[in-house]
Amino acid sequence: MAAITPAVVVFAIAPVLLNLTGTGAFWVLMIGGLLGTAMAFSWAELGSTYPIAGGDYTIVSRTLGRALGFISLVLTGPVQAFLIPAVVALSIAGYLSSVVSLDARIVGAFVIGVGVVISIVGVKFTARAVGVLLAFELAVVTFIAVLGFISIQRGPDVLVVPSIFDPATQVGGPLPFGTLIAGVAVAAFAYNGFQGALLFSEETKGNPRAVAHSVFLALGVAVVTAVIPVAAGLMGAIDLAAFTNSANPWSLLVEGFGSPVFATVVNLGIALSIMNGVVALVPYFSRVLYSSGRDHVWPAAISKPLASVHPKLETPWVASLVVGVGSIILILAFDVDAMATIIGTVVSVEFVLISASAIVSRVRDKDIRRVYKMPLWPVIPIFSGLFAIFILTQQTTHDLTITGVILLVAFLYWLLYLRPRSATHLHMLAPIYGDTPEGQASSRP
């Protein structure tokens, strides 16, 4: 739940949706929740069947083959592991600006550094820390929703018909259907992380069915804590056109109460709640890089350190450092905001791979032990896979081109480096529960 970061969804990603889709942001988040629910069934079944720290790529490799498995690793590993924490960390400075003017890049780098330290200290300590901060984060999100509802300016009918306002003229009009669907990719990015229990499955005690339950619980909380505040903001904003076109609409809502001190306190609370997301994201993504090193995905000089575990703290400390350093380099050297738009496209591609895995796993591995089986198979994964493909058709040529280049580079790396070394590299970790024999898994193309 902390990896989803409800505060980031509301305070950093929702403004992007409001700018892109106007009042349609409400429907975009609802549709994103529907797609997320369909995906949750696939992740719940696959994650409890293959409880291995690497998450998606370990599943895709076993079901669709190691070429697509490596592509999944690149999407959920280096691409998201460096970019998402950087995007989240950068959003903090905007809310701190009401107190002190700071360079957003320096603030972002510092916050990621804190996240790395907490991640290395230990998974139990990290869980306690993010648990406390998550409670605070949910309280801030709830408080913002309450502010919207108590300052209500219009009825719920504003949510029914999606409208968008021209930034220059402030004149409203109907939201194009294609734009609404394109926004669902951003919502997919917003909810991304509800499958996070899969990455900690090796460290989870008890019945692996609990991994499935965690996926549904995290998604449910994510949808509720996103949809309700956005609905409250749209109903409570004094100027709806200004609210949907603002880079920081929540500050407009808070400033409507007329107290600078009140606004400052709320903005500080928002900044602290967003920081919790970074604290949760570093250990989340470090498990992906750790698992890739353990499976010898990279040259030995890289894989061996990534696979190392601290002898006392029992955490993948090198992988955590790599996540932190990679994110900090992105923040300090590149325009992360300009790169952030591709995340939704990348997540949609991953949705296609996981949906296909949920279908192939049942067909190919009929005798595997499944502690959780989704209902209405294969209807649900077919729906989610086709929906994700439809979303991809609505993305910009720029984002599709960048994503295509990432996929091509990943495939060439597998073809030219990993495939000739299939006996020693990308050698999947022996599964924990009921997977096909290691020889069969490693013999797949």
DSSP state of 163: E
Reduced to 3 states (helix: H, G, I; strand: E, B; else coil), residue 172 is strand
Q: Which residue has the higher pLDDT, 284 or 71?
A: 71
Nearest to 188 by CA among 15, 391, 344: 344
Q: What is the pLDDT of residue 294?
A: 87
Answer yes or no: is pLDDT of 220 > 50: yes
Answer yes or no: is pLDDT of 391 > 70: yes
Question: Is residue 438 very low, low, confident or very high in pLDDT (cuts 50, 70, 90)?
Answer: very low
Question: Dihedral of CA 97/226/4/344: which sign?
Answer: negative
Q: What is the mean pLDDT of residues 312-334?
A: 88
Q: Which residues pair with 406 in a beta bridge?
A: none
Question: Is residue 443 very low, low, confident or very high in pLDDT (cuts 50, 70, 90)?
Answer: very low
- Number of other CB atoms surrounding residue 16 within 10 Å: 19
Nearest to 119 by CA among 299, 313, 291: 313
45-76, pLDDT tens digit by residue?
Answer: 888 787 776 678 888 988 898 899 999 999 98
Look up residue 255 and give its amino acid.
Answer: E
Look up residue 316 and give its amino acid.
Answer: P
CB 286 within 8 A of CB 114: no
Say what percent of the chain tops pLDDT 90: 34
Q: What is the pLDDT of residue 444?
A: 37
Scored b (16 or more CB within 10 A) or e, 192-221 reads bbbbbbbbbbeeeeeebebbbebbbebbbb
Q: What is the mean pLDDT of residues 143-160?
A: 91
Cα(158)–Cα(380) distance, integer angstroms: 31
DSSP per residue, 385-423: HHHHHHHHHTS-HHHHHHHHHHHHHHHHHIIIIIGGGTT
Q: What is the pLDDT of residue 433?
A: 43
Answer yes or no: is pLDDT of 124 > 90: no
Question: Is residue 201 very low, low, confident or very high in pLDDT (cuts 50, 70, 90)?
Answer: low
Q: Which residue has the higher pLDDT, 184 or 132?
A: 184
Answer yes or no: is pLDDT of 432 > 50: no
Q: What is the pLDDT of residue 205?
A: 65
Answer yes or no: is pLDDT of 123 > 90: no
Question: Is residue 98 very low, low, confident or very high in pLDDT (cuts 50, 70, 90)?
Answer: low
CATH number of 6-443: 1.20.1740.10
Cα(131)–Cα(125) distance, integer angstroms: 10
CB 37 within 8 A of CB 219: yes
Question: Is residue 210 very low, low, confident or very high in pLDDT (cuts 50, 70, 90)?
Answer: confident
**At a CB cut-off of 8 Å and minimum separation 6, what does 42 contact?**
354, 355, 357, 358, 374, 380, 381, 384
223-257, pLDDT tens digit by residue?
Answer: 999 999 999 999 999 899 999 998 888 888 887 77
Answer yes or no: is pLDDT of 429 > 60: no
* Distances, alpha carbon 211 to alpha carbons 43, 131, 201, 222, in Å: 9, 17, 7, 17
Lowest mean pLDDT, pick from 30-34, 88-92, 249-253: 88-92
Residue length, the chain? 445
- Number of other CB atoms surrounding residue 111 within 10 Å: 26
- The average confidence (pLDDT) of the chain is 84
**What are the structure tokens assigned to 323, written together?**
């996540």
Question: Is residue 435 very low, low, confident or very high in pLDDT (cuts 50, 70, 90)?
Answer: very low
- The H-or-E segment that residue 371 falls in is none
342-383, pLDDT tens digit by residue?
Answer: 888 898 999 999 999 999 999 988 888 788 899 999 999 999
Q: What is the pLDDT of residue 7?
A: 80
Answer yes or no: is pLDDT of 402 > 70: yes
Lowest mean pLDDT, pick from 8-17, 266-275, 318-327: 266-275
Q: What is the pLDDT of residue 269?
A: 80
Q: Which residues pair with 173 in a beta bridge?
A: 164
